[in-house]
Amino acid sequence: MKWTWWKVLTVVFLLYSAAAGFLLPVPRLAIVNESIRNLYFHVPMWFAMMVILGTSVFRSMQYLRNPSARLDILSHEAAKSGIVLGVLGLATGSLWAKYTWGAWWTPDPRLNAAAVAMLIYGAYLVLRGSFRDEQQRARVSAIYNIFAFAAAIPLLFILPRLAGNSLHPGQTGNPGFNKYDLDSTMRMVFYPAVIGWILFAFWMTQVSSRLAFLQLKIDEK
Amino acid sequence: MRPETNPLPVLLREISTLLAKDFRLEWRQRAALGGLLLYVGSTVFVCFLSFSLRGGTPPPPAWNALLWVILLFAAINAVAKGFMQESPGQRLYYYTLVRPQAVILAKILYNTLLLTAVALLGLFLYTVFLGNPIQDAPLFVANLLLGAVGFATTLTLVSGIAAKAGGNGATLMAILGFPLMVPMLLLLIKVSKNALDGLDRSVSQQSLLTLLALNMLVGAVSYLLFPFLWRG
């Protein structure tokens, strides 16, 4: 029970950010209005996705150095958690866009980049599905995971900034929220929300990895 | 082979041997090369026929989009056969002779040369049939060459991965390769649009530098990862 504290923290932070996110006052800004509350959900989900996908790549690197079924499962499950969070991020973003920009999807550079990231991880799952030999699958998918992350993910941050015509909040200049200038009440909700979602991603990965370990044990019998 | 103190000359010699082997193989199986050229030629011709229905050349944005679509698919077809035409036995044989870094570098180099030739030829045919709205030709061609190098570096490792999966390698390659190439394509299409419109070159500078950096990054990652792919 030594390691339950962070799970308690996850629950507390997520419940707090959901409750406070809807109830506490937010600055009144034109067009955005109350929809600024989406910042407490959408942005932390993307942060958590990046962290968990980074973890997945790290596990893949470890796998290549020192192959084991355990590392392959950890990398795979982390990537799947990243996909779940990415889809949640797309959904919350799309919802927000509908009420702020008037369309579910726009050809905004940031949105395209997000869609490309999801396609890449979709391709990762397809690649995993096309192997019969487990060691081969583990090794080749680890390679694709690293390659895809190195080739495409940095661009998802660089390209939207190069394009310079994005409507996405926090887009012009640095990635912060300079335009919206988080006031101190918003920070009090936003930071716990970020930590909560990142911890949630690790928790989700831990649970699904345990299931996969058990499956492996059953298969080995 | 006598032991060499400095590994670099060995690597270079291995690369040049492998490159020569690839060219010789390509020349002996001219059907594949001919097929590729015919593929580019017939797509351009189909475009020409469809646009001639409405009086000649397409508007510049359509011209640009079609050219890149043709080059993209030609590149996937050209690179796909690289690793796939080699049997597992052949791969094992190379494995005993040369180091994997030489294999990937030689393959990237070969694909770069092949795609450069395909891109230039494609552009030539395309301008012959569909007109030439380019206002800044040197920039356009430079961008085209960067594109060929970028396609070659990205797709070479992807084709190696797809070849490992066996079965429907070409389909898998498209699935794995397309999303990786989208960021690169966006930059390429943007610069080529700038060149078409004859915008000042300073507008394209940042994108060109990003493209160059991206090519080097992808090349470096391929170089590091390929030995692991090959070990199987």
Q: Which residues of A168-180 are buried (b: 16+ CB within 10 A; e: fewer)?
A: bbbbeeeeebeeb
Instruction: Please name which of B42, B39, B59, B41 lies closest in space to residue B51, comparing C-alpha atoms.
Output: B59
Respond yes or no on whether ipTM tops 0.95.
no
CA distance A95 to chain B (A): 24
What A208-215 contacts at long range (C-beta under 8 Å, 24+ apart), as own/partner pairs, is A208/A77, A208/A80, A208/A81, A209/A73, A209/A74, A209/A77, A212/A73, A212/A76, A212/A77, A213/A70, A213/A73
Q: Which 128-157 residues of chain A touch chain B by CB within 8 A?
A: 130-131, 135-136, 139-140, 142-144, 146-148, 150-152, 154-156
Q: A165 φ, ψ to 5°?
A: -115, 25
Q: What does the pLDDT average to over A13-36? A: 77
Contact: B214, A148; criterion CB under 8 Å: no
**Tens-place pLDDT, residues A148-177:** 888 777 767 776 666 666 667 765 443 445
Mean pLDDT of chain A: 83
What is the band of B1 on the pLDDT scale with cuts at 50, 70, 90?
very low
Instruction: Please name which of B189, B181, B47 lies closest in space to residue B127, comparing C-alpha atoms.
Output: B47
- Using CB atoms, pick whichever of B157, B180, B222 lies closest to residue A152: B180
Residue B155 to residue B150: CA distance in whole angstroms: 8
| A127 at interface of B, judged by CB pairs closer than 8 A | yes
CA distance A72 to chain B (A): 15
Residue B178 to residue B220: CA distance in whole angstroms: 20
Chain A residue whose CA is closest to B159: A144
Q: Please give the pLDDT value at position A30.
A: 64
Cβ distance B104 to B152 under 8 Å?
A: no
Taking contacts as CB-CB distances below 8 angstroms, the residues of chain A near B231 are: 139
Residue B108 to residue B152: CA distance in whole angstroms: 6
Contact: A150, B161; criterion CB under 8 Å: no
**Tens-place pLDDT, residues A57-105:** 999 999 999 999 899 999 999 999 999 999 999 898 888 888 888 888 8
What is the band of A31 on the pLDDT scale with cuts at 50, 70, 90?
low
**Tens-place pLDDT, residues B171-210:** 888 888 888 888 888 889 989 988 888 888 888 888 888 8
Tokens of A148: 């895809």
What is the band of A144 on the pLDDT scale with cuts at 50, 70, 90?
very high
- Using CB atoms, pick whichever of B157, B179, B186 lies closest to residue A119: B179
